[in-house]
Chain A
Amino acid sequence: MTTTIRLQREALDVGAEVEQMTRGRTEIGAVVTFTGLCRADENGVPIAALTLEHYPGMAEAEIARHVEEATARWPLLGVTVVHRCGRIEPGETIVLVATASSHRQAAFAAASFLMDYLKTRAPFWKQVEGADGATWVEAKATDDAAAERWSSAPPRA
């Protein structure tokens, strides 16, 4: 099991991250990647960019706690989580979650679990730059519901 958790201001290369996780690892049979991108609108209103604020130290610790939980729930061989911080323009990648396993079910489930928890538990806050200035994005109840479903899910996919 290999784990990579990183925050960075720079653009991220999804292909290079997957290559890094799987190189020489012939026991891996499945890789699932989730890539979150910056849209050009927020609730239908055009935006120029978004800025991600985070809590240094806790952000990494919180992601690590959820990666640990995913590892306990599913037979994973690799997990990579890279989250951007700072200013991000439409079309750029905000977050990458990649999970590797022998078979696809565990990789799919773990990637979904990690994203649901990243959304609601990892200390990041999005601010969007629109025509009327900067505004903070409000948390969505649907994201809380998505994370909540894992608390009653069976321990293994």
Chain B
Amino acid sequence: MKLLYFAWVRERVGKAEEHVDPPAGVKTVAQLMAWLAGRDEQHAYAFENAKVIRAAIDHSHVRPDAAIAGASEIAFFPPMTGG
């Protein structure tokens, strides 16, 4: 699946997007963040305080317990500050 990162999440991960293939046990957004945090130092830094990070699946906001099955694009970002 395709992952997108924005704002300081993008800066900490060190890239704007990547493709990942998480193991079958990773079923929710929260589990995906925990799995990503274990990949390397940069991901660990980006997701060290996962509670503040928001997620969207295929352009819609989702909660941490949302299932990732069938998602084609998952985005992670800080709370929004537009307007």
Identify which of residues 90-134 in chain A touch chain B, using a CB-to-CB cut-off of 8 Å: 94-95, 115, 118-127
Which stretch, B1-9, B19-27, B42-50, touches the partner chain A? B1-9
| B8, B56, B79: the one within 8 Å of A55 (CB) | B56
User: Does A46 lie at the interface of the complex (its beta carbon under 8 Å from any beta carbon of B)?
Assistant: no
Main secondary structure on chain A at its contact with chain B? mixed
Looking at A53, A57, A137, A138, the one whose CB has the most chain B CB atoms below 10 A away is A53
| Number of residues from B at the complex interface, CB < 8 A | 16
Contact partners of A122 in chain B: CB under 8 A? 80, 82-83
User: Does A58 lie at the interface of the complex (its beta carbon under 8 Å from any beta carbon of B)?
Assistant: yes
| A36, A94, A120: the one within 8 Å of B80 (CB) | A120
Q: Is the CB of B77 within 8 A of A123?
A: yes
Q: Is the CB of A118 within 8 A of B78?
A: no
User: Does A61 lie at the interface of the complex (its beta carbon under 8 Å from any beta carbon of B)?
Assistant: yes
Residue interface mask B64-79, A partner, CB < 8 A = 1: 0000000000010111
Q: How far is the CA of A144 from the CA of B4 in the complex (A)?
A: 24
Are A123 and B6 also in contact (CB < 8 A) when A61-B59, A136-B78, A139-B78 are?
Answer: yes
Q: How far is the CA of A115 from the CA of B78 in the complex (A)?
A: 19
Q: How far is the CA of A139 from the CA of B77 in the complex (A)?
A: 12
Contact partners of B7 in chain A: CB under 8 A? 53, 125, 127, 136
**16 pairs of residues in contact across A and B, judged by CB atoms under 8 Å:** A52-B82, A53-B6, A54-B82, A55-B75, A58-B60, A58-B75, A62-B61, A95-B82, A115-B83, A118-B83, A119-B80, A122-B82, A123-B80, A125-B6, A139-B80, A139-B81
Residues on B facing A (Cβ under 8 Å): 4, 6-8, 56, 59-61, 75, 77-83
